[in-house]
Amino acid sequence: MLNINDLAPDFSLFADNGEKVSLSDFRGKKVVLYFYPKDNTPGCTKEACSFRDVYDDIISKGAIVIGISTDSIDSHLKFKKKLNLPFYLLSDPDHKVIEMYGQWVKKSMYGKEFFGTQRSTFIIDENGKILKIFQKVKPDEHGKEILALL
């Protein structure tokens, strides 16, 4: 499990636009790295929109936003276009990065247990260190919560 002040593990994944994006590409900026379960679901839509609505303010604070889920690049592209999302959505179909950050967890729904992505956010500083970890996020308020921290 990762903790505050740990060096955030570097990774490279494909983005919604087909380009490969690495965490280390953003050294010198703060990174709002958020993990979410699934494109086009109610909670994930609210969360993405909460980031979208404060995105310009986040950028003005010297930070960028990156979302990661197990969805395909095609799914991300549709989700991004539908909601007019200005930030990267990265595809982690094998959940390797999600696991690296300790966010691949056992869940339960309707009495059935399964593994999936835990909704969470990591704030990473300009040098790659973890400043803050948010677990069990309230999707519709999260963008403003992050902005207040930055």
Active-site residue set = 44
Calculate helix-pair angle for 42-53, 142-149, nearest 10 degrees. 40
CA–CA separation, 87 and 111 (whole Å): 35
> Side-chain half-sphere of 85: how many Cα atoms within 13 Å?
30
76-84 contact pairs (CB < 8 A, 24+): 76/15, 76/16, 76/39, 77/16, 77/17, 78/39, 78/40, 79/16, 79/39, 79/40, 79/48, 80/16, 82/40, 83/45, 83/48, 83/49, 83/52, 84/52
